[in-house]
Amino acid sequence: MTPARTLPHVRFDLPDPIPVGPRLARGWRITCYEAAGATIRLGRRSRGIDRLLGAAGVRHGAFVGAWNPLSRPHPESWNHTQLDRLRRLAGRAGIAFLEGAGHAARPPWAERHLLLLADWRRCAVLAQRFRQHAILLVRLRAPSRLRVLR
């Protein structure tokens, strides 16, 4: 089955992206993203996320991580160091952010993220710098979408 059929809320940046296997596609579908008490899942809307965006005075944002580049596990200490670098770079770029995370129950999985409060293109630049496979885009009063970057 093609990713487009299994993931209708996904957009690919490259004509020939890294293959998306069924495990990764399922992981994206079942992950719950959270920031400041608000949660959202792929393809859904969230009043809580709308409140966070509205309070920040922005219409767009993206959950961006620095952990586990290209969806390959790395040591937790390395992941924390990379997330600290992402915080610093977002700050230098003038991008406001909230601490966030992604997690799923079955199989158990968790990863730290930042909810960057900026246009998705600015968020994608930072995500690509940290070799992130994809980012979750959020927009006021709209379902979230996944943007596959690699």
The DSSP secondary structure of 121-134, one letter per residue, reads HHHHHHHHHTT-SE
Could you tell me the residue range of the domain that residue 37 belongs to? Answer: 20-148
* Number of compact structural domains in the chain: 1
Rounded to an integer, what distance in angstroms lies between the CA atom of residue 149 and that of residue 66? 14
Q: Looking at residue 90, what is its pLDDT?
A: 98
Any domain includes 125 = yes
Confidence (pLDDT) at 7 = 59
N-terminal to C-terminal alpha carbon distance within the chain: 19
Amino acid making up residue 58: V
pTM of the model: 0.86
The yes-or-no verdict on residue 6 having pLDDT over 70 is no
Query: Which pLDDT band, with edges at 50, 70 and 90, does 108 fall under?
Result: confident
Residue 11 is assigned to a structural domain of this protein? no
For 43-68, what is each residue's pLDDT tens digit?
Answer: 999 999 999 999 999 999 999 999 99
Asked whether the beta carbons of 95 and 118 are under 8 A apart, the reply is yes
Q: Is 1 within a domain?
A: no
